[in-house]
Amino acid sequence: MNPIQFRISAIIFTILIGSGAAFGIGAFEYLKLRESNRELSSSLEMRNLVDSIYDRKDKKTLIDELQEFRERLEPEERKMALSDLIQAYSNSSWSLLKKRIDHFESTERKYAEYLRPKIKFYEKQVMYFSLIGLGIILIGLIGIREYVGSAVFNRTLRLGKKMMDFLNGRYSYKFEVPKNDEVGELETTFNTMAQRVLHNMEELEALDRAKSEFLSIASHELRTPMTSIKGSLGLLTSGAFGDLDVEVKNMIGIAEKETDRLIRLINEILDLAKIEARQMPMKRSWVSLDTIIQDCLKGLEGLSKSSGVPLTAIRTP
């Protein structure tokens, strides 16, 4: 079982045991309370029955009812008082019966006075243990809320903030050693992923710097021979080495134009830093598609003649 799950289960188990014990004791006290109330009600019922002893005509039924009450009486003193009363009533000893009734009434009043404090005590006990059980549940729920808030929600919110910072390119926070629990596993996974991404970013930046250095060196190395080629072609075109026929001049002109294009591309490569920083302005203008096609044909004219493959462009209206 995972640590957070285990701790929450332990808290819940403690709540159940504590509240169950409190409610169990309260239920036991309630049973005592109910029994005491039943005995008090039974005593009052007997006293009412004895008070009506002179008005009852069905003597045998009354004796049976009194004997039924006697079987349930405790302690023995109450049972003896009722037995003496029943005997006097059965023998129709009216003078003795009055004394027995007075003795029985006195015994029952004492017993009622004995029961009432017990009933109040049991009522307090029931209320006391019920409140304890509810208090344990309430404190336990608050404890679960506080623990889940500190162990799960707060840490998850902090981890979410780190993720948002990482997503937005802010890597200023420090990697902490996570706790050994479920959220800690999530933090460990994120830390591992973040460190791997940062390592890959460092490698990519190193490769990017190496690429920029290579392009810069290659551009400089290419620019020098291209300048020499352009100068040589210019000398040929100017007639420094004699007159050239028209076809040769056309081919040299094409070579000069392509050389200029290569030099322009090399210059743009030298501005790679501006391109990567998105600071190279774009030049937008209308151009003739026919001009572009004709330039392409002229650039491929030498290759076309050497391979014997004619290239033509057909204008469409």
200-243 per-position pLDDT tens digit: 888 888 887 777 777 777 767 776 777 777 777 777 777 666 67
The segment with the largest mean pLDDT, out of 112-121, 196-205, 304-313, is: 112-121
Q: Which two tokens stand for residue 29?
A: 């006290």
Rounded Cα distance between 37 and 33, Å, is 6
For residue 132, pLDDT over 90 is answered with: yes
Rounded Cα distance between 61 and 64, Å, is 5
196: enclosing H helix or E strand? helix 182-238
**pLDDT given for residue 13 in this prediction:** 92
Phi, psi of 220 (to 5 degrees): -65, -40
Q: C-alpha dihedral over 29, 32, 37, 38, to 10 degrees?
A: 150
Q: How many CB atoms lie within 10 A of CB 43?
A: 19
DSSP 68-80: HHHHT--SHHHHH
Q: Which two tokens stand for residue 9?
A: 């289960």
Whole-model pTM above 0.75?
A: no
Fold of 204-284: Helix Hairpins (1.10.287)
Q: Which two tokens stand for residue 21?
A: 């014990």
Length of the chain measured in residues:
317
**pLDDT given for residue 135 in this prediction:** 94
Q: Which two tokens stand for residue 154?
A: 């707060």
Q: What is the pLDDT of residues 260-311, one digit of tens each?
A: 777 777 777 766 655 665 656 667 788 777 777 877 877 777 777 777 778 7
Q: Which residue has the higher pLDDT, 168 or 77?
A: 77
Q: Which two tokens stand for residue 298?
A: 């002229």
Domain positions in the chain: 3-158, 204-284, 288-317
For residues 130 and 23, is the Cβ–Cβ distance under 8 A? yes
Q: Which two tokens stand for residue 166?
A: 């990482």
